[in-house]
Every structure is written in C-alpha cells, then in structure tokens.
A and B are shown apart, each in its own frame.
Chain A
Amino acid sequence: AQSVTQLGSHVSVSEGALVLLRCNYSSSVPPYLFWYVQYPNQGLQLLLKYTSAATLVKGINGFEAEFKKSETSFHLTKPSAHMSDAAEYFCAVSESNAGNMLTFGGGTRLMVKP
C-alpha cells in the first residue's frame, strides 16, 4: 500500500524567503511522485512530477522538488516566495503498476507575508 505524509499543515514565510514544503512517502514499488497546487475556489493543478528520470524535478512557477530514495522524501522548494504562491499544496504518490491511482497527502497551506 502507498501513503503520503506532509509535515506541517500550515507554513508561513515572508515574501522573498525560501519555501520548503515537506513530503514523505511509502510505496512497495518504485513510485511516481507529484506535487499539485490548489488556489482558492479552484481545482488542483499539476506543479511537477517525478517518474524515475532525473531526481531533481523542475516545475512551473519556479518550484522544484528532489526525489531522495534513501529518505523516502520528495520535498518541494522555491528559492524566493512571491505573494502569488499563497495556496494549498498537495503531494501525491502513484505506484507505477497501478495506472493513475494517486494517493494524496493531507495538504500544506502556504501563507506568504509581505
């Protein structure tokens, strides 16, 4: 069975500061890993995904995530936060032999202070 844990349901940073959102996963097979973002009153949008190619994955809006097998982690980072980054972020895992069956973490709400 697969599962995802996102540490910190709320993260607050100042504009211009580093953003770090943590995600740890468990999977019985090599995982596919995803980060999605949800802006208010909208559905989820794909930020980036890891599919066993490069371990450092670059996504949209300046975000990137690094797959670390030894730590079973896939943390999301952005060097400099912008006010428009305020949203809820979801990490998700899919087992490569299970089609598109994604299991989501509980989400982290990112707040950006001016």
Chain B
Amino acid sequence: DADVTQTPRNRITKTGKRIMLECSQTKGHDRMYWYRQDPGLGLRLIYYSFDVKDINKGEISDGYSVSRQAQAKFSLSLESAIPNQTALYFCATSDPGSGSLHFGNGTRLTVT
C-alpha cells in the first residue's frame, strides 16, 4: 500500500462547484503539504501544516482551503472551482529531520 494516498485520482467538475481532494498517510509524519503542478511551472505550494493545530498559507492559497482532520489526514477544498484551477494536485509529507518530501500519486482535476 502507498504511504501517501490521494483520492480521487481523477476528477472532472464544473465551474462553481465545491470539490474536496483528500490525502491520508501512514508514514507517521506531522508535516503535510498540498502542491499543484502546472506544465512549465513546476510545483507550487498551496497550503502546509506542521501539526494538527497548525495551518499555513503557501504561495498560491487564494481560492483554496484546507482541513487537517488528524495527523494522518489533510484535505484540500476548492469552494467554487474555476477553469484555471485545472491542474495536477499533490499531497506530500515530511519529517523535520530528513528535509525531503514524500509524495502521493496525485489527483488530476479538470474544471470545465
């Protein structure tokens, strides 16, 4: 089983709809992140959480919100989806000692 699991893997939704992307992890890491990937832009940080009570905005948080339901669960919501939120979304975890991230397999979101 994957250490970082994202659901769904693919989602098509319409403009204005609310959508939630979910992430769960079995690595026991406190730190969790949401990134979006766009061609030519690499990955950009949306939100991050260093523990259950800690939520922080990243580089591109406008239009997104998150919820850290437990150490193992970190969900990303789009309150009112718009077409330029069409992208590949990644959840990641890390432990503070290693400095490196562990990624899920991504959710491909299309907003029509």
Contacts and interface: CB of A to CB of B under 8 A. Distances in A.
A104 interface: yes
Q: Could you say which interface size class chain B belongs to?
A: 20 to 34
A93 to B, nearest CB: 11
Residue among A4, A6, A94, A104 having the largest count of chain B Cβ atoms under 10 Å: A104
B104 A99 contact: no
Interface in A77-114: 90, 94, 99-107
B42 A106 contact: yes
B96 interface: yes
A41 B105 contact: yes
A106 B41 contact: yes
Nearest to A90: B42
Interface string A29-58: 000101010000111111001010000000
Nearest to B44: A104
B99 A106 contact: no
A100 B90 contact: no
B48 interface: yes
B76 interface: no
20 contacts: A6-B42, A9-B40, A34-B100, A41-B105, A42-B106, A43-B92, A43-B103, A43-B104, A46-B101, A49-B99, A49-B100, A99-B96, A100-B31, A100-B94, A100-B100, A102-B45, A102-B101, A104-B35, A104-B43, A106-B40
